[in-house]
Copies of this chain bind each other. A is one copy, B any other.
Amino acid sequence: MTPPPPTHPRLVDVAKRAGVSIRTVSNVVNDFPYISTTTRERVEQAIAELGYRPNLIARNLARGRTGLVALVVPQVAMPYFASLADSMLEATRDEEMVLVISQSRGSHQVELEALEGRFGQRIDGVVLSPTTLTDADIAHRRSTIPLVMLGDRTWGGVVTSVGIDHVSAATEAVRHLIAQGRHRIAIVGPYLNEEAKRFRGWAAALREAGIEPDPTWVIGTDGSTGEDGFAAGERLMQMSPRPDAAFFVTDWLALGAVRAFQRGGLTVPDDVAVVGYDDIPYGRASNPTLTTIRPDRAEIAHQAVASLVAQRDGDSAPVAIQASWSLVVRESSGAPATIEA
């Protein structure tokens, strides 16, 4: 009685069956040029007959790589990062990499370790969506593993970053509100100052329309949670004159504020037009649906992965990559009611 094959077929099994050496089989598997057609066919047939599939662990050991790429985000359950993860999964699959998601939960320590490539497994590259890192953290990093930073910061140019042009996007968002006839346009978010790109876009759009940005229209929040948005919405309602529109730096903030407005008896967009930012899925299902800036996540993910590949293959000059975005107009700023897919 023949015992069943104790494990998956290996390179040697294929080689034996095809009557060649493992070197040749390896060549075929890895698509080397210079193999005679007949040999190649023999090998391919043996592979098919045996159902051979390369053991990537062994391959990676030999190659000194893992084939694993890490995506580090604060928390995947947050809609924006869930969507990002989705896009990254697709982008890495196209490159035959395996994506490993890691949650920082806003921990500086975890982000620092990610910078150094310290994960459970050894990793070929890191795509990081930072929350607490500083330029100094990046400058001091010792590891040289391929790294891409997501977001609008450029980190002193010492590392590749992929983001969208937030100044332009914010400008476009506020322009849109102005085009709807709004003149008292608030901006809501954390860390709003002359450094903040979305803030600059907001101010630029107003000035461009001959409106001087009013400091009282700048509504600072602690963070970007729905509760922060709710609280900001309540503050906004008590202002007089009340703003007739508000630009929120994230959708989640905007949704919280809409909730506050509706509880306070205001109608969106009639009383206050609202624009968010990020295009999270819920913006399509909320009532009203939410006008927002949609970063091209697929492009961001592909650019990030492409940079990882380039860095791996020796091209290490850092670049600041800008992906595209679009303004999605929905009910919260006056679009007619629709049902989207």
Query: What residues of chain A have their CB less than 8 Å away from a CB belonging to chain B?
Result: 7, 53, 55-58, 60-61, 64, 66-68, 75-79, 82-83, 85-86, 89-90, 93, 96-103, 118-122, 225-227, 230, 252, 255-256, 258-259, 262-263, 281-282, 284-287, 337, 339-341
Contact = CB atoms under 8 A, between A and B. Distances in A.
A113 to B, nearest CB: 12
Contact of A101 (B67, B85, B256): B85
Nearest to A259: B287
A91 to B, nearest CB: 12
Contact of A61 (B58, B90, B96): B58
Contact of A76 (B7, B76, B98): B76
Contact of A66 (B57, B225, B255): B57
> How many copies of the chain does the oligomer comprise?
2
B56 A285 contact: no
Nearest to A281: B77
A339 B227 CA distance: 7
15 contacts: A55-B122, A56-B122, A76-B86, A79-B281, A86-B103, A96-B120, A98-B119, A226-B285, A227-B341, A259-B287, A263-B337, A282-B282, A282-B286, A286-B286, A287-B287
Contacts of A121: 56-57, 67-68, 98
A103 B89 contact: yes
A75 B79 contact: no
A6 to B, nearest CB: 11
